[in-house]
Amino acid sequence: MIKAIYPGSFDPVTNGHLDIIKRAAKLVDKLVVSVLENPHKSSSLFTIEERINQLKLVTAGIKNVEVSSFKGLLVDYAKQIDAQVVIRGLRAVTDFESEFQMALTNRSLMPDLETFFIPTSVEYLYLSSSTLKEIAMFGGNICSMIPCEIKQEVLDKFTK
Ligand code: PNS
């Protein structure tokens, strides 16, 4: 059985993340989408609980997906849940350097943990949670960037 972990900030989950989740879920037996509880990042728009709930909502229809959060090193959490694979999405070339560094670092800490990169679908090439937040902040249209179920929640953060 292949168990994979798809870690990230997911602040908030975008259609780009969801695309990676759906494609990865077809390749593995179990996919754990896990939100990093980052003590150094106080600038998050959504709390960990809000992000977990959003991810649960948008992945509700995918049977082999589970949502969680983790603290500390990814390799320790991977060990704890018995995951053999890390999933990461790759957008433009600019992602490659930091993703490659992260994959090699994780591999040096846990040689049995493999990283699988999934290239983004072309429509999400330039999409990121930060771009999305900036567009929402200035009242732009985010409909094509975010799952419908959480669109209002994002807009509310900037209007209430
Ligand atoms: O969505 P993001 O912010 O690009 O995700 C980054 C994440 C959470 C995958 C990465 O920061 C991470 O795994 N952090 C946990 C700490 C860790 O294991 N660091 C060593 C590897 S770089």
pLDDT tens per residue, range 105-129: 999 999 999 999 999 999 999 999 9
Q: Which 8-state DSSP code applies to residue 120?
A: P
pLDDT at residue 74 in the model: 98
Instruction: Point out the catalytic residue in the list 26, 41, 43, 144.
Output: 41
Residue 93 has pLDDT above 90, yes or no: no
How does residue 104 score in pLDDT terms, banded at 50, 70 and 90? very high
For residue 73, give the ligand 1 atom closest to its CA.
Answer: 18
Q: How far is the CA of 159 from the centre of ligand 1 (A)?
A: 30
Average pLDDT value for residue range 85-91: 97
pLDDT at residue 40 in the model: 74
pLDDT in tens, 24-82: 999 999 999 999 998 777 789 999 999 999 999 999 999 999 999 999 999 999 999 99
Give the DSSP H or E segment for 29.
Answer: none
Please say if 107 is a catalytic residue: no
Please say if 40 is a catalytic residue: no
Please say if 129 is a catalytic residue: yes
How does residue 94 score in pLDDT terms, banded at 50, 70 and 90? confident
Please say if 44 is a catalytic residue: no
Q: Match 């990283």 to its residue by tokens.
A: 115
DSSP conformation letters of 33-83:
EEEE--TT-TT-SS-HHHHHHHHHHHTTT-TTEEEEEE-S-HHHHHHHHT-
Q: Which of 5, 9, 32, 124 to mutate to test the pocket of ligand 1 (most atoms within 8 A of CB)?
A: 9
Ligand 1 near 35 CB (within 6 A): no
